A and B are shown apart, each in its own frame.
Chain A
Amino acid sequence: MYRQTEIIKDSSEVSPGGGDLEEGGGAEFVINVGPQHPATHGVLHLVITLNGETIKKVEPHLGFIHRSIEKMCESLTYRQFIYVTSRMDYLSSHINNHGCALCVEKGLQVEIPPRAQVIRVIMDELTRIASHELWWGAMAMDLGAFTPFFHAFRERETINDIMEETCGARLTMNYMVPGGVMADIHPNFQKRVKDFIILFKSKVDEYDELVTGNVIFRNRMKGVGFLSKEDAISYGCTGPTARGSTASCDIRKLYPYEVYDKVEFEEILETGCDSFARYMVRIRELRQSIKIIEQLIDNIPEGDFQAKTKAVLKLPKGEFYSRVETARGEFGVYIVSEGGATPYRIRFRSPGFSNLSALDHMIRGGKIGDLIAAMGTLDLVIPDIDR
């Protein structure tokens, strides 16, 4: 296990526009990172103000992929709107759907059959692994190492194949429906997942060998993008971003849903508060996800995969809030119902949006290379930020 030994900068040192940054003098140099840029992985637009190579300010400009999903959902029924949310955080689309389904079920007060609960959790964890894999490859590529990307995609492909067999799709699965899941699992599902577990366990060690232990990589990550625990909470950071700063925020542990209170797993916390800690959280989470799947895959109870619900769902008048842990953090769904077949107002609390807001604070005083490293460990998915 790699431990953080030194914390290079204190958060107080990089106060806005103050301290040693001003001493360099000279004119400000403003460059646009994005909306078309290899490191932003989408259409994020950052306006960065530089002094030489040192970053003075980062200002995100959002909205290039804003589709106003919240407004769209106001005219969709409770069965329909779930599938729009797959298009937000497309890398953990399953978990987004799960959050919405949970919120609708909360309003309808339906009991979900145990089989559906277990299938949902297995699917969630597979999605989480797939998402972390993609993050790992893409982040290594941001830092200039191309090879990990292909190694990560090799395993991710296996998960996509499993998903394809059961859900019929590879990226936006649309497998969750209010009351359970869309269809029963494929007969091959259990066998293929078990094969995948065996394969994946050896591959995680390979990832560590390839990237985690690399001296250049660790020098690039340690002490970069410092985010203290207080700031992480204040900025509303969740998921691995906050857990790298020792802020406990795993919804699966704190507010368990489905069968998460019956399985054994750890909430990963790292004390480094920097990019490397966030990296380690995700790498260690891969192993925890595998552990959860291992416990459940042989114990899928028999029974219905879907509770009986009415054809047209109508939520009672009131407000419902549910939250789930996606690969990027806490995903909240807030439904305000007037009793009709469509929500009156819906609000998605997306993890990426809050995580991004901490970027400016994290990166002031760093170099351009640090910005790329810190942005990589935030694991931003742009449609998730813009909605």
Chain B
Amino acid sequence: MWSLSKITDTIQNWLNQTFNPTWALIFEMLIVGVCVISLFAILGLILVLMERKVSAWMQIRLGPNRVGPKGMFQSLADTVKLLVKEGLTPGGADKLLFNLAPFVAMIVAMLLMAPIAFAKDFQMWDLNIGVLYVSAISSVSVIGILMAGWASNNKYSLLGAMRSGAQIVSYELSAGLSALAIVVLTGSLSVSDIIYSQADGWWIFKGHIPAIIAFVTFIIAVTAETNRAPFDLAEAESELTAGFHTEYSGMKFALFFLAEYVNVFIVCAIGATLFLGGWMPFHIGNWQGFNHVMDFIPSSIWFFGKTFFLIFVIMWFRWTFPRLRIDQLLNLEWKYLLPISMINLLLITAMAILKWHF
């Protein structure tokens, strides 16, 4: 069967035969780097277009439909526009931090790509603490936002950054605890182990109700962590005009924009990996025939299908819900989500010890 892992194997074999191992490694790293950057750009373009189409669909409009067939090149045209725009730096701003912040946000988003398994055996870095790595790196993204808000020397930006700091740090807890639920069930932090443990069914089905609770908590928490509506207080445009990126323009703004969408993609990919089996096809226990039929669908399609479904859900939130207030936002986390996910973790642990799950 056609698979991405075969392609990568072929390339690696060819490189190892042609060059000495050091050069082969360097070339491999270069290829991976180019792939990540292009994936980053392509994802940004696709997700922006998807967001605009989804919002148009919900708002009884048509959305972009002029540039290219069905408006497919709209986001490309927007990118060109942003590239040629002047990147202003306000006079009173801290120039170094101001210009550094978008890159911090983008680099964090890029780093998060490493442990994600895009298809069967198609993973950049299968490190044994994959889930921990993701939680650790994703909390660094707050630094980019705080830098942007502080360096802009703008009151709206500062308020937005402060809100964002409070928000990301608190919701990190629930997201982490929900992810931990699956780690407890699997017994491993490695992304590939987690996916292989779902060969006889996804955790959301195998883990009974606690897994579903963990899934819902996870989705809410990551929506907040990525600053998406209804938790987009950091940029709440009707309150703070544009929050932390008020002063940014041109490509520096585009990098924030891109980083937001790539973050959304990554958290959805993590969600799909933990709860919906990643690239693992839909398998049911020991129904060998059914499982075999499911295997005919390529694993990359499974992965991207699940991820984009979750992305759609998060977009759906954005275009239907009003925004929360800052105190309600923190109440939701500290008074509801955190206790729920803690009790839920206990339940899951008990379940894992007693082998109640499938």
Asked if A143 lies at the interface with its beta carbon under 8 angstroms from chain B, I say yes
Asked if B58 lies at the interface with its beta carbon under 8 angstroms from chain A, I say yes
Closest to B236 in A: A144
- Besides the contacts A53-B163, A369-B233, what 7 more A-B pairs have beta carbons closer than 8 Å? A38-B241, A53-B159, A143-B322, A147-B59, A149-B59, A216-B323, A370-B325
Q: Give bound CA distance, A28 to B70, whole Å.
A: 51
Give every chain A residue within 8 A of B326 (Cβ-Cβ). 53, 367-369
Give every chain B residue within 8 A of A368 (Cβ-Cβ). 159, 239-240, 326
| B interface bracket (residues with beta carbon within 8 Å of A) | 20 to 34
Closest to B158 in A: A29
Asked if B96 lies at the interface with its beta carbon under 8 angstroms from chain A, I say no
Asked if B186 lies at the interface with its beta carbon under 8 angstroms from chain A, I say no
Quick one: which of B100-141 are within 8 Å of A by CB?
A: none
Q: Given A29-B155, A53-B159, A220-B325, A151–B60 Cβ distance below 8 Å?
A: yes
A220 to B60, Cβ gap below 8 A?
no
Q: Given A146-B319, A214-B322, A367-B326, A372–B239 Cβ distance below 8 Å?
A: yes
Closest to A41 in B: B238
Quick one: which of A188-246 are within 8 Å of B by CB?
A: 210-211, 214, 216-217, 219-220
Asked if A141 lies at the interface with its beta carbon under 8 angstroms from chain B, I say yes
B325 to A367, Cβ gap below 8 A?
yes
Asked if A169 lies at the interface with its beta carbon under 8 angstroms from chain B, I say no
Q: Give bound CA distance, A29 to B240, whole Å.
A: 14
Give every chain A residue within 8 A of B230 (Cβ-Cβ). 144, 216
Which of A142, A147, A220 is B319 in contact with, Cβ under 8 Å?
A147
Give every chain B residue within 8 A of A370 (Cβ-Cβ). 325
Asked if A39 lies at the interface with its beta carbon under 8 angstroms from chain B, I say yes
Asked if A263 lies at the interface with its beta carbon under 8 angstroms from chain B, I say no
Q: Given A38-B241, A39-B238, A142-B238, A220–B324 Cβ distance below 8 Å?
A: yes
Q: Give bound CA distance, A219 to B58, whole Å.
A: 24
Which of B59, B229, B240 is A150 in contact with, Cβ under 8 Å?
B59
Q: Give bound CA distance, A150 to B238, whole Å.
A: 17
Closest to B156 in A: A31
Closest to A368 in B: B239
Q: Give bound CA distance, A167 to B319, whole Å.
A: 36
Closest to A145 in B: B322
Q: Given A31-B156, A142-B238, A216–B60 Cβ distance below 8 Å?
A: no
Would you list 22 pairs from A and B whose C-beta atoms are within 8 A, ordered by A residue?
A39-B239, A141-B238, A144-B322, A144-B323, A145-B320, A145-B321, A146-B55, A147-B55, A147-B59, A147-B319, A150-B59, A154-B60, A216-B328, A219-B324, A219-B325, A220-B324, A220-B328, A367-B325, A368-B239, A368-B326, A371-B239, A372-B239
Closest to B59 in A: A150
B58 to A37, Cβ gap below 8 A?
no
Q: Give bound CA distance, A326 to B274, whole Å.
A: 56
Closest to A29 in B: B155
Asked if B86 lies at the interface with its beta carbon under 8 angstroms from chain A, I say no
Q: Output the least CB separation between B230 and chain A (Å).
A: 6
Asked if B232 lies at the interface with its beta carbon under 8 angstroms from chain A, I say yes
Asked if A356 lies at the interface with its beta carbon under 8 angstroms from chain B, I say no
A150 to B322, Cβ gap below 8 A?
no
Give every chain A residue within 8 A of B61 (Cβ-Cβ). 150
Give every chain B residue within 8 A of A249 (Cβ-Cβ). none
Asked if A140 lies at the interface with its beta carbon under 8 angstroms from chain B, I say yes
Q: Output the least CB separation between B249 and chain A (Å).
A: 16
Q: Given A39-B238, A144-B238, A216–B159 Cβ distance below 8 Å?
A: no
Q: Output the least CB separation between B224 and chain A (Å).
A: 13
Give per-residue flags for A276-296: 1 if the beta carbon is below 8 A from chain B beta carbons, else 0: 000000000000000000000
Q: Output the least CB separation between B154 and chain A (Å).
A: 10
Give every chain A residue within 8 A of B320 (Cβ-Cβ). 145, 147, 210
Q: Give bound CA distance, A150 to B59, whole Å.
A: 6
Give every chain B residue within 8 A of A144 (Cβ-Cβ). 229-230, 232, 236, 238, 321-323
B241 to A216, Cβ gap below 8 A?
no
Which of A142, A147, A149, A219 is B328 in contact with, Cβ under 8 Å?
A219
Q: Output the least CB separation between A235 and chain B (Å).
A: 24
Q: Give bound CA distance, A164 to B325, whole Å.
A: 41
Give per-residue flags for B287-330: 1 if the beta carbon is below 8 A from chain A beta carbons, else 0: 00000000000000000000000000000000111111111100
Give every chain A residue within 8 A of B324 (Cβ-Cβ). 216, 219-220, 369
Q: Give bound CA distance, A146 to B326, whole Å.
A: 19
Q: Give bound CA distance, A143 to B229, whole Å.
A: 11
Q: Give bound CA distance, A193 to B325, whole Å.
A: 40
B321 to A214, Cβ gap below 8 A?
yes
Give every chain B residue within 8 A of A146 (Cβ-Cβ). 55, 59, 319
B239 to A216, Cβ gap below 8 A?
no
Asked if B237 lies at the interface with its beta carbon under 8 angstroms from chain A, I say yes
Quick one: which of B46-65 are within 8 Å of A by CB?
A: 55, 58-61
Give every chain A residue within 8 A of B237 (Cβ-Cβ). 38
Give every chain B residue within 8 A of A211 (Cβ-Cβ). 322
Q: Output the least CB separation between A59 and chain B (Å).
A: 16
Q: Output the least CB separation between B170 and chain A (Å).
A: 15
Q: Given A146-B55, A147-B58, A31–B155 Cβ distance below 8 Å?
A: yes
Give every chain B residue within 8 A of A145 (Cβ-Cβ). 320-323
Instruction: Tell which of A31, A143, A219 has the most Cβ of chain B within 10 Å.
Output: A143
Give every chain B residue within 8 A of A151 (Cβ-Cβ). 59-60
Q: Give bound CA distance, A31 to B158, whole Å.
A: 11
Closest to A138 in B: B238
Give every chain B residue within 8 A of A140 (Cβ-Cβ). 322
Q: Give bound CA distance, A368 to B239, whole Å.
A: 7
Q: Give bound CA distance, A66 to B218, whole Å.
A: 51
Q: Give bound CA distance, A31 to B233, whole Å.
A: 17
Quick one: which of A357-382 are within 8 Å of B by CB?
A: 367-372
- The 4 nearest A-B residue pairs measured at CB: A144-B323, A369-B325, A143-B322, A150-B59
Q: Output the least CB separation between A101 and chain B (Å).
A: 37
A143 to B319, Cβ gap below 8 A?
no
Q: Output the least CB separation between B152 and chain A (Å).
A: 14
Q: Give bound CA distance, A346 to B325, whole Å.
A: 44
Closest to B242 in A: A38
Quick one: which of A119-152 are within 8 Å of B by CB?
A: 140-147, 149-151
Give every chain B residue within 8 A of A216 (Cβ-Cβ). 230, 321-324, 328
Closest to A37 in B: B241
